[in-house]
Amino acid sequence: MTARVALFRAREDATASAARLRRLGFSVACLPAIEIKAQAVRPSRSRYDAVVATSGKAFLGDGPSDTSPPLYVVGARTARAAEARGWRLASPPAPDADKLIETLNGALRPGASLLYLAGRDRKGTIEAALEGAYALEIVEAYAAEAREAWSPAETRALASCVAALHYSRRSAGLAAGLAKVSGAEARFLELVHVCLSRDVAEPLDAAGAAGIAIAETADEAGLFRALSRGLGGFPSLGASRI
């Protein structure tokens, strides 16, 4: 019987992960704990010296009307989403926030006007590093809204899962809460919970989950390897190869 894995990420993020899991021989239940909603983008200036984005979700809605300023982003997915909206990258996408900050500091003059297309729920790394050096304006282009409940079909899908992958502390905690609201808490706690880091795992530990595994590397490949160990090998690959 094919092992079924639960994903609690927003649907936009879960699609690619689900496809990779299916190629490895798993079946997947997508049970989003959050929904991504585009926000109105109304910058105070008509033009900026540069624009920054760290997620492709920043381009889900109607963004700034002027797409001519240099754009700096984190991640290839963000780059593709921006280019689909008519933006051109000023440099290759940075692999992480630290590299993006380094690139900006090398490319922009002190005091340059900088627009950050951000999510409402975010870490403060970007603004903390840039606020003192530039005229930084933050516009929240999207919000990750917590769902109030799963549908009956989603709750039934959870019952058929043997494991779950957790990519963020917030979605892990929200998933635990949704399972309780949906009357599926006992089944949820029985799953093998594979987490990106110990920080991600903390809400699950607090909820009483016993089967928690932590990825050795904080990336999806690390999650998949930990999943393999937790379930005794990939269905299509045998012992833990990836």
| pLDDT tens for each residue of 163-193 | 999 999 999 999 999 999 999 999 999 999 9
pLDDT at 1: 66
230 burial (CB, 10 Å; 0-12 / 13-18 / 19+) is middle
Tokens, residue 86: 């008519």
In the chain, the percentage of residues whose pLDDT exceeds 70 is 95
Confidence of residue 237 (pLDDT cuts 50, 70, 90): very low
> Residue range 134-148: average pLDDT?
94
Amino acid at 80: R
Query: How much is the mean pLDDT over the chain?
Result: 91
Q: What is the pLDDT of residue 152?
A: 96
Using pLDDT thresholds of 50, 70 and 90, give the confidence band for residue 242: very low
pLDDT exceeds cutoff 80 at 204: yes
Looking at residue 106, its amino acid is G
Instruction: List Cβ neighbours of 167 (8 Å cut-off, separation of 6 or more).
Output: 9, 13, 196, 200, 220, 223
Q: What is the pLDDT of residue 238?
A: 35
Per-residue pLDDT for 236 more than 80?
A: no
DSSP H/E element including 122: none
Q: For residue 85, count other CB atoms closer than 10 A to its CB.
A: 16
Alpha carbon of residue 97 to chain centroid: 14
Q: What is the average pLDDT across 223-233?
A: 86
Query: What confidence score (pLDDT) does residue 241 get?
Result: 30
The arithmetic mean of pLDDT across residues 79-89, rounded, is 94
Query: Is it the case that residue 140 has pLDDT exceeding 80?
Result: yes
Asked if residue 106 has pLDDT above 60, the reply is yes
Residue 58 carries which DSSP code?
G
pLDDT value of residue 234: 47
Between 90 and 210, whose confidence is greater? 90
